[in-house]
Amino acid sequence: MHFSPRDMLGTGIKVLGLIMLLKSLQAFIGLISVAGLNNNFTTRWELWQVLLTFISPLVLLIVGLCLLKYADRLTDFLCKTDDPEADIQQENLFQLAIKFIGLILIVFAIPEAFRIIGDLFYMKAVSEAIDTVTQSQFVWERSLSTLIRLLLGFYLMCSGRFFYHLAYPVKDE
């Protein structure tokens, strides 16, 4: 059986979509106890806190469904070759792996970005009632980490030439 790099990338994207769906299911199961704890919210920020905890699993679910549904379109976007049945060459496979790793970085950073946004809303809502200095330090550290993952992910997905040239240096002849 012969698989082209395009076939491998498309399958990888679908597997990543399935992983995202399973992670969202795991996150939703973890939130069952949060939803059942208290439904008599006394303040507005308590309601927001509970609602914002559901954002990250919801984003995981949406991203997973989109990856499964639009895997072929994403494969066409990432694998810009004229010959979809091209032989598997190590260099071509490595280029697709770089793009796939970039996609993984982006997909896992997106829910974290939504979680950070939710934390910012929560901190703003409770900042007058409690001290949020420590929480804001964690948010900014996570923000920097998430931003770097997003930027690196987009770089790898769109180009990744630096890493390609590290793995396959140009030989002077």
Q: Are 23 and 104 in contact (CB under 8 A)?
A: no
d(CA 108, CA 88): 28
d(CA 17, CA 53): 21
Give the pLDDT of residue 35: 63
pTM of the model: 0.71
- Say if 107 falls within a structural domain: yes
Number of Cβ within 10 Å of residue 144's Cβ equals 10
- Show the domain range for 40: 5-167
pLDDT tens track of the chain, all 173 residues?
A: 677 778 888 899 999 999 999 989 988 887 777 666 656 666 666 667 777 778 888 988 999 999 999 999 998 888 876 555 555 677 778 888 899 999 999 998 988 888 888 888 777 777 777 777 777 888 888 899 999 999 999 999 998 899 888 888 877 65
CA separation, residue 115 to residues 55, 81, 119 (Å): 7, 37, 6
Give the pLDDT of residue 85: 53
- Say if 62 falls within a structural domain: yes
Q: Are 112 and 23 in contact (CB under 8 A)?
A: no
- Say if 172 falls within a structural domain: no
Nearest to 6 by CA among 58, 78, 108, 67: 78
Give the pLDDT of residue 150: 95
- Say if 49 falls within a structural domain: yes
- Say if 173 falls within a structural domain: no
The count of domains in the chain is 1
- Say if 127 falls within a structural domain: yes
Give the pLDDT of residue 4: 79
Give the pLDDT of residue 27: 85
- Say if 26 falls within a structural domain: yes
Residue 77: strand, helix, or coil: helix
- Say if 16 falls within a structural domain: yes
Nearest to 54 by CA among 114, 138, 124: 114
